[in-house]
Structure 1
Amino acid sequence: MKLTHSRKYVALIGIAIMAMAFQVLTPRSNSKYVNTTMMSNSQPTIVTITYVKKPWYAWRSLVVKKFKESIPEYEAIPGLLQKNYHFTESDGKFGGIYLWASEAEARAWFNPKWFERIVKTYGEAGVVDYYQIVQSTTIAKHELTGDYWLTLQVGKSLSIPESTSGLLRITQIKSKDQLGTIALWKSKEEAKRYFGQQKDAGQISYFDTPVLIDKLK
């Protein structure tokens, strides 16, 4: 079905607004971009997970395009070792799951100005959750774009076998006295299959994760 002129106008306005709005999530730095093939010798110590309200006009393909365009800028952020660009499964949020070399570098990025820009642009406060990393292991090589899904499991100590079908990467985390895992999966189906077989794995959140940055490969 063809769009009417009115609907076309609304769609074009939405694209323009989204292009401007998305800049709030990208770095504002005069530093030169790092080479995309440059790997890091640092080991991650902190995970941050951000949740930002996704505008109604920002359909998935447009946001994924903006994710990809922002990669060189994010690669230049000091201390950022991995980023998993995400959409939440059901509550209309998007953001990133970041692995950092240090908490100080994470907090330098998620500073008060970052939160102010989010509120100004999206009309709702952004959320940043912090977790300490116990151990992070890459199980299988993978491309930086795909139909990946990521799971956040908290509240229980859970050891996911490295031989589990579809498991690509696992990060064991803790927050205060809670233990958990963050796992990258080849597909949503394989993630759901594994956790569907667990009787009590704590609280599970699922993230559509189409684009990755990985300096630890």
Structure 2
Amino acid sequence: MITEIVTFALRPGTTRQRALELFEKTVPRWRANTALVRKYYLFDGVQGRGGGVYLWSTLEDAKAAHDTAWCDQAEALYGDRPRFEYFETPLIVDNTD
């Protein structure tokens, strides 16, 4: 498994409510991506940052989902070009079961 962390600066003054509205626009795309295992949306109102934490089966799946076209769309939507970090995820603890 691969954990991908994507972050970007939000436009100045973006509230939590506005960020949520923007994030909700992207939900159908991620629900339709069968390679995605799980996604968490991130918001930091103090630092004016947003992003997501994604769990993928492979690094190739992660990079395919966040290609240049996606980066262009994200920049238009949020106001900043996203940055990416990738981590091998050898173990997961899930306390929801």
TM-score normalised by the shorter chain: which range applies? Answer: 0.7 to 0.9
Match of 1:108 in 2: 64
Aligned-partner residue type, residue 59 of structure 2: E
- What's the TM-score once normalised by structure 1's chain length? 0.39
Match of 1:56 in 2: 12
Superposed displacement of residue 51, structure 1: 0.7
Match of 2:35 in 1: 79
Query: 1:117 and 1:55 mapped to 2: Cα distance?
Result: 15
2:15·2:45 contact (CA, 8 Å) conserved in 1? Answer: no
SS of the residue 1:71 aligns to: helix
Query: 2:2 and 2:74 mapped to 1: Cα distance?
Result: 22
Residue among 40, 44, 47 paired with 1:91: 47
After superposition, the Cα gap between the structure-2 partners of 1:119 and 1:63, relative to the gap in structure 1 and judged at 3 Å, is closer
Gaps in structure 1 of 5+ consecutive residues: 1-44, 142-217
After superposition, the Cα gap between the structure-2 partners of 1:89 and 1:49, relative to the gap in structure 1 and judged at 3 Å, is farther
2:5·2:52 contact (CA, 8 Å) conserved in 1? Answer: yes
Query: 1:111 and 1:94 mapped to 2: Cα distance?
Result: 18
2:2·2:86 contact (CA, 8 Å) conserved in 1? Answer: yes
Which structure's relative contact order is higher, taking Cα pairs within 8 Å and 6+ residues apart? Answer: 2
Choose 1 or 2 for highest CA Rg: 1
- What's the TM-score once normalised by structure 2's chain length? 0.80
**Sequence identity, in percent?**
21
Aligned length: 96
Where is the helix percentage greater, Structure 1 or Structure 2?
2
Matched, 1:46 2:39: no
Match of 2:22 in 1: 66
SS of the residue 1:137 aligns to: coil
SS of the residue 2:85 aligns to: strand
